[in-house]
Amino acid sequence: MDAKYLIELSKEFFEKAYRLQMDGKYENAIELYKKSLEYYPTAEGYTFMGWALSALGNYEGAIEECKNAIEIDADYGNPYNDIGAYLISLGRYEEALAWLELALKAPKYANREFAHYNLGVVYEKLGLWFEALAEYKKAFKVSPRYGNARKNYFRLQSQLN
């Protein structure tokens, strides 16, 4: 099979998987992400499969898929942030810090507000209140409509007053 055909098949499976994932059909989505990756592995495919695994509570599997994504494209920021988020879910806050910092340094990362927000969560869990406030503020400055960051910022600020 020629490369263009394989890439197109991969995209078709990825798009179907994404739709299933958005409908909450995670197991089906994972199967289609696997097919997509068989035809043409992409950082996005591995990252989104990780996201689907995390929705099922399989954070360790999700982390492994994100590491696969990084092997393909180390400049893609999403898997770094996602690893950080999964580590937060596992209560491994200090470990999450390094991954979130890498997300912020990644050249190809359009949603830096998520890494700032997640850093805020980690700092808050570690009792570093002012660092948490700074990260929440950065998150909603990057994306003014990011309500969770704004909410956490004002909640934490009111607790410190």
SS3 for the chain is CCHHHHHHHHHHHHHHHHHHHHCCCHHHHHHHHHHHHHHCCCHHHHHHHHHHHHHCCCHHHHHHHHHHHHHHCCCECHHHHHHHHHHHHCCCHHHHHHHHHHHHHCCECCCHHHHHHHHHHHHHHCCCHHHHHHHHHHHHHHCCCCHHHHHHHHHHHHHHC
**What average pLDDT does the structure give for the chain?**
97
Q: What is the number of domains present in the chain?
A: 2
10-residue mean pLDDT profile of the chain (161 residues): values are 92 98 98 98 98 98 98 98 98 98 97 97 98 97 94 95 82
**Same-domain status, 115 and 69:** no
Do 63 and 116 have their domain in common? no
Q: For residue 130, what pLDDT is reported?
A: 97
Q: Indicate the residue among 66, 91, 109 that finishes a domain.
A: 109
Domain containing 88 equals 1-109
Residue 104 sits in the same domain as residue 141 = no
